[in-house]
Chains A and B, each alone.
Chain A
Amino acid sequence: MAAVRRHRSAGPLFVAPFLVLFLLLFLAPLGYAAYLSLFQERLIGGTVFVGLDNYVQALGDSQLLHGVGRVALFFVIQVPVMLLLALLFALALDSGLLRLARVIRLGIFVPYAVPSVVAALMWGYLYGPDFGPFAQLSRKLDLPVPHFLSDGWMLGSLANIVTWEFVGYNMIILYAALRTIPHELYEAAAMDGAGAWRIAWSVKLPALRPALMLTLLFSVIGSFQLFNEPNLLMKIAPAVISSSYTANLYAYSLAFTGNQVNYAATVSFLLGLLIVIVSYGVLLTANRRRTP
């Protein structure tokens, strides 16, 4: 009996360390941020309670709306491309048709280990319109110089950097999931006379569904929270990347440049809310399609 009692009370004890830290490091600051978003701190006049004024202002803030629009566009373009590539690479690696599979797998994964500071440095140089290698080659070949850092191309250039950084990570998740498909399924399919493509479609893809959901979810969060890469490229393309280029960047600039901590908290909350809505929307749509 003592064993059972001990057993029942052990659960909370195991989760307590994690939850306590979670409370202190996540929930407490979050609560404080929520509190801050109801006030306004002014250089003249000090801190004033404004209720939901900040939220009303944010919903009508054209800079914020543009920033959100941009990350939404980024999401719609970059994520499918990245996940498709990750899927194709994972399938290729799992197909057994590749030589040097190990090298390729590791090589595609390596960019994940590179900090975004370094990635921005490297790509910033490669994109350079005067002295970057692509520009130099274009000039030598008498082709028009690609303007990676211009207004029209910037979102695509950022998407390229993010894809470069994370395809490997997503690929590994999908590949690992593929590796766990039991032999019996393949044998059964082979006995039914299925060719490689059919196997991929009917056996592998369904098995990948959970993994794809996972990577999709991460990508929703990552793209709407886009901050690092535009922040780091701001230095070399200041006329293109404004301080409100993405919603997260806007929140950061409000807090750290404009001394508007309260409004920044408001913007961050609204962004978080948007991410939750989009995430659940994505999950629900995917699940609904699955039920036969």
Chain B
Amino acid sequence: MPRNTSSMSRRLFLTTTGALSLGAALTACGGGDSGGSSGSAKPVGQADIDKAMKTPTQLTFWTWVPNIAKEIALFEKKYPAIKVKVVNAGQGTPQYTKLRTALKAGTGAPDMVQLEYQAIPTFTITDSLLDLRPYGADALKSRFVDWTWGQISGTKGEVWAIPQDTGPMGMLYRKDIFDQHGIQVPKTWDEFAAAARKLHKADPGVYLTNLAANQPAAWHGLLWQAGAKPYVTSGRSDIAISVDDAVSKKLGDYWGGLAKEGVISTDPDFTDAWYTGFNKGKYATWLTAAWGPVFLSGSAKATAGKWRAAPLPQWDPAKPSSGNWGGSTTAVLRSTKNPIAAAVFAQFLNSDPASAKMFATEQFFFPATKALLTDAEFTGDAPAFYGGQKVNQLFAEIGDTVNSTFQWPPFLDQAATDWTETVGKSLADRSDTTAALGSWQSRLTTYAKAQGFTVKGG
């Protein structure tokens, strides 16, 4: 072998290794916003990382993303020694239940897991997640949309997961129904309420929208948009719960009022009847997230070409804002026997440009990386289902208005179930939503106290 090549390659190797370790060292020493942290953020050396990535390893990944084999293939191509086994252990809550049980039993938990943003605190309170900073995760911060990084960060600056996709909320509406009844696209919630009344009066078989009585995520998204902070955790065992504060009551009066008037429907979503509702034009809008457009185009084929997208109606038109519904991350479990390989996987899957792009083109996820959100091909997409409107671009703009400081409780499943049984039920029954909010608050407070938290607010 000619001498220069080997010395060149050796020099190159040393340079890159040096740069990476230097970078990692810099990150560790107080590079984050929340100030430096203690020894737990001690970086793992690049040599160790390289060694681990060359050691034959079997990783288990729990995810419900369909056809993720393609992205996995990219990873396995880069790191042939690592094999990833994909297990679909359920979607959302059922998977979290399984995960909790497996962690409790001490065996059967995977190495990496798909976690929605709202589920993260539920697993950090039990110290189940691995801080990814020692594995270089901090370096990825600038690649992702700001508010997503806020969602995955811990109180001491830990990086608990890598964002995969997002769900900023907007409104999909039936242009033909609006035109037929002379309804303008509502820009404020007041306009929305007026439109709801007008539409339902003109055609009692149609509702302006459906606010599902079994969908706590949508409610939380709307709270998020309204600037509410229902759950504030400070420190490990302190939590302030205020799900019936002024903002919540405003929402409760608004939606409870519309439900009582009968101008919106409150059917449970993602059921056969709900799908049929879309196909038959029962619902004129869908307040949904950025994954909604693709989903709707697959489920409501009978209405192709009639839909358009717009931002959510606003409380304050001068300060447009939105909330988030859904979107996931990839987290690594602390119980893993292969922390390095798992951490590298989580980062690769969601930050490698090819892999991240695949999520957008193959699974039609709404991206969490800034690069994709400004990618011309992505934003230029103009599906016929929406009459050629550039839906992605619209949602990308909406994504910029999602505020960064919304927090989730460390017992999400309980909070969600309690919402469905109190507030959701009041919407379905058309009873007093304000009282229901009070019930929700007291249930959560009782639960949190029983679990040992110090609870403020209420």
Interface residues of A (CB under 8 A from B): 40, 42-45, 125, 128-131, 151, 235-239, 242-243, 253, 256-259, 261
Q: Given contacts A43-B125, A44-B451, A238-B268, is CB(A258)–CB(B273) below 8 Å?
A: no
Q: What are the residues of chain A within 8 A of B272 when measuring CB–CB?
A: 125, 128, 131, 236
Most buried by B among A43, A130, A261: A43
Cα A231 to Cα B359 with chains together (Å): 34
Q: What are the residues of chain A within 8 A of B453 when measuring CB–CB?
A: 43-44
A242 contacts B273, C-beta separation under 8 Å? no
Cα A259 to Cα B413 with chains together (Å): 9
Q: Given contacts A128-B273, A239-B428, is CB(A44)–CB(B268) below 8 Å?
A: no
Q: Write out, one digit per residue, whether chain B residues 214-248 have a CB within 8 A of any chain A CB (1) or not (0).
A: 10000000000000000000001100000000000
B237 CB contact (under 8 Å) in A44, A130, A237: A44
Q: What are the residues of chain A within 8 A of B447 when measuring CB–CB?
A: 258
**26 CB < 8 A contacts A-B:** A43-B452, A43-B453, A44-B236, A44-B451, A44-B453, A128-B272, A129-B273, A130-B276, A131-B272, A131-B276, A151-B429, A236-B273, A238-B424, A239-B268, A239-B424, A239-B428, A243-B417, A256-B97, A257-B93, A257-B414, A258-B414, A259-B411, A259-B413, A259-B414, A259-B451, A261-B104
Q: Given contacts A242-B421, A243-B421, A258-B447, is CB(A235)–CB(B268) below 8 Å?
A: yes
At the interface, yes or no: B16 with Cβ under 8 Å from chain A? no
At the interface, yes or no: B126 with Cβ under 8 Å from chain A? yes
Cα A129 to Cα B214 with chains together (Å): 17
Q: What are the residues of chain B within 8 A of A257 when measuring CB–CB?
A: 93, 97, 413-414, 417
Interface residues of B (CB under 8 A from A): 93, 97, 100-101, 104, 125-126, 213-214, 236-237, 266-268, 271-273, 276-277, 282, 410-411, 413-414, 417, 420-421, 424-425, 427-429, 447, 450-453
* Cβ distance B212 to chain A, nearest Cβ, rounded Å: 9
Cα A261 to Cα B105 with chains together (Å): 12
Q: What are the residues of chain B within 8 A of A253 when measuring CB–CB?
A: 417
B451 contacts A42, C-beta separation under 8 Å? yes
A238 contacts B214, C-beta separation under 8 Å? yes
Cα A264 to Cα B88 with chains together (Å): 27
Contacts A43-B126, A43-B410 aside, 8 further interface pairs with beta carbons under 8 A come to: A40-B450, A44-B452, A128-B273, A130-B277, A238-B424, A242-B425, A253-B417, A257-B413
Cα A125 to Cα B213 with chains together (Å): 19
Q: What are the residues of chain B within 8 A of A128 when measuring CB–CB?
A: 272-273
B420 contacts A239, C-beta separation under 8 Å? yes
**Shortest Cβ-Cβ A-B pairs, 3 listed:** A44-B452, A239-B428, A238-B214
Cα A103 to Cα B382 with chains together (Å): 59
A239 contacts B214, C-beta separation under 8 Å? yes
Q: What are the residues of chain B within 8 A of A239 when measuring CB–CB?
A: 213-214, 266, 268, 420, 424-425, 427-429
Most buried by A among B126, B236, B266, B450: B450
Q: What are the residues of chain A within 8 A of B276 when measuring CB–CB?
A: 130-131
A42 CB contact (under 8 Å) in B277, B282, B417, B450: B450
* Cβ distance B440 to chain A, nearest Cβ, rounded Å: 13
Nearest A residue to B275 via CB reads A131
Q: What are the residues of chain B within 8 A of A44 when measuring CB–CB?
A: 125, 236-237, 451-453
Cα A125 to Cα B100 with chains together (Å): 33
Cα A242 to Cα B428 with chains together (Å): 13
Q: What are the residues of chain A within 8 A of B126 when measuring CB–CB?
A: 43
Cα A130 to Cα B274 with chains together (Å): 9
Q: What are the residues of chain B within 8 A of A237 when measuring CB–CB?
A: 268
Cα A256 to Cα B96 with chains together (Å): 9
Nearest A residue to B100 via CB reads A259
Q: What are the residues of chain A within 8 A of B266 when measuring CB–CB?
A: 239
Q: What are the residues of chain B within 8 A of A259 when measuring CB–CB?
A: 100, 411, 413-414, 451
Nearest B residue to A57 via CB reads B450
Nearest A residue to B273 via CB reads A130
Most buried by B among A45, A243, A259: A259
Q: What are the residues of chain B within 8 A of A131 when measuring CB–CB?
A: 272-273, 276
* Cβ distance A135 to chain B, nearest Cβ, rounded Å: 10
Q: What are the residues of chain B within 8 A of A125 when measuring CB–CB?
A: 272
Nearest B residue to A245 via CB reads B421
Most buried by B among A45, A129, A236: A236
Most buried by A among B93, B101, B268: B268
Nearest A residue to B98 via CB reads A256
* Cβ distance B448 to chain A, nearest Cβ, rounded Å: 9
* Cβ distance A126 to chain B, nearest Cβ, rounded Å: 11
Nearest B residue to A244 via CB reads B421
Q: What are the residues of chain A within 8 A of B413 when measuring CB–CB?
A: 257-259
Cα A198 to Cα B301 with chains together (Å): 64
Cα A238 to Cα B421 with chains together (Å): 8
Cα A43 to Cα B452 with chains together (Å): 7
Q: What are the residues of chain B within 8 A of A258 when measuring CB–CB?
A: 411, 413-414, 417, 447
Q: What are the residues of chain B within 8 A of A242 when measuring CB–CB?
A: 420-421, 425
Nearest A residue to B413 via CB reads A257
Cα A43 to Cα B122 with chains together (Å): 10
Nearest B residue to A125 via CB reads B272
Q: What are the residues of chain A within 8 A of B101 when measuring CB–CB?
A: 256
B213 contacts A238, C-beta separation under 8 Å? yes
Cα A259 to Cα B104 with chains together (Å): 10
* Cβ distance B407 to chain A, nearest Cβ, rounded Å: 16
Q: What are the residues of chain B within 8 A of A235 when measuring CB–CB?
A: 214, 268, 271
Q: What are the residues of chain A within 8 A of B411 when measuring CB–CB?
A: 43, 258-259
Most buried by A among B101, B237, B428, B451: B451
B268 contacts A42, C-beta separation under 8 Å? no
Nearest A residue to B447 via CB reads A258
* Cβ distance B241 to chain A, nearest Cβ, rounded Å: 14
Cα A103 to Cα B196 with chains together (Å): 55
